[in-house]
Amino acid sequence: MTSRDGFQWTPETGLSQGVPSIGVISPSTNICSSSAKYDVIVVGAGYAGLTAARDLTLTGLHVLLIEARDRIGGRSWSSNIGEYPFEMGGTWVHWSQPHVWREISRYNMRTELEKSIDFSGGVNHFQLRTAQGSSIMSHEDEEALLSGAICKFVNVDGDMGRKVIPFPHDAFDLSEARRYDEISVQDRIDAIGLSLTPNERASLESFILLCSCATLETTSFFEFLHWWALCGYSYRGCVEALISYKFRGGQSTFAIKFFKEALATGRLSYLFTTPVSSINDPGDNVTVTTRDGRQYTGARLISTIPLNVLKSVSFDPPLDTQHTEAANTGHVNQCVRVHAEVSSKDMRSWTGISYPSNKLVYAIGDGTTPAGNAHIVCFGGSNNEIHPEEDINETKNAVESMAPGNMDVQRLVFHNWSKDDFAKGAWFFSSPGLLSSSLDAMRARHGNVLFANSDWAVGWRAFIDGAIEEGTRAAMTVKEELQPAPALPSYL
């Protein structure tokens, strides 16, 4: 099946919108009438919504899953083109992510993981292109350069951030952590600038922009510290947890397991290609109205709508002031991510930074296609103001400029998350002050409406693991309210 989402380009076919994905659901609905009342309505079929829908149907509750897209996965989905999976959003997973690893084990997919980074052959080098010129170094030198720069950046407490964030799944336990949320990455770099060499500064800024895909001024220093803590307070831990392992068949092979398990219960109703316009909670139940005017009612509703989209949905009664302000502020990640299939198979072992003049900043060799070509994934951010489909030649040039003379582009594949009405950005990354002022408000319920999304997870926020964490939390709350545990016998 082909989704309406995504773009691909080849020299032969030119640019086309819509790419194939096993995450597309057909038929788009399995219900005939909107008159039924459901136990729970789940809005959104990303990992948070899929987890909640699955857990609740398994407990015996009747669930209606409403999704604006024609597919599952939300901001994490894959497209199989030429028998090769191109990850359009969230990609990498790791056993240090507890919720993800539990589900990988549940679905017996441990052997479905493969290494993303492979330096065993080919060019086997790192290329750094900055205002000072271009240099090529070994991956060992790359690690030393980045590790040294990042350690200077995060070492605010003499212990690489461990004292500031000793327990990353309860990050605001210490008031000092909140203090670091009030400052930007630019503020921190300015404070340590004299200790950085030009190459250290360029590589540090590029790595941070890879994480936030925003600007240095609009990126929260604390949120980077939080990622660092989750990855074990080391650069090698970051590489291992963030970009090293992915599913051999693509993310959609994982997400479809959740959907199929829920569907097999016989208690899952679903509607795809159905955006929601309003949510009304008079107190005894919740009614959701779709953009085409249909209405559906449930005892509870779980909204997994991303933060940047939340203000496009009307709530009655309105959300509280703090939640509304957070939705109006939104998060800052406007990632540009472009997959390139290049004819040089030796580029499989290449990584590179091209900063600050290029519209794409960071890239890694991520696989080998069945045609024997190298797969390169490139990242840029909102400061570069590139929309790949608007000028495909500009996009191709940005890819080629990552490694001039070595990028013979045969195919480009991408999803423009910034112009996606149901995402309005990529994975969550916060601006200074957003989390310390609004994290609790984003997580709080609103009457019979609960909110579950990786954007406000306390652990692996912005990651697939955080989405599963949130879906699990919301589902358990609803289960306890709609299916209270039986009273224990008096003799116990």
Specify binding-site residues for substrate.
379
In this structure, the strands spanning 449-451 and 78-81 are unpaired
Q: State the CB neighbour count (10 A cutoff) for residue 389.
A: 17
Q: Which residues are annotated as a binding site?
A: 67-68, 276, 379
Estimate the crossing angle of helix 235-243 against helix 221-230, to 10 degrees.
80
CB 66 within 8 A of CB 42: yes
Q: How far apart are CA 416 and CA 309, in angstroms?
A: 15
Q: Which residues are annotated as a binding site for FAD?
A: 67-68, 276
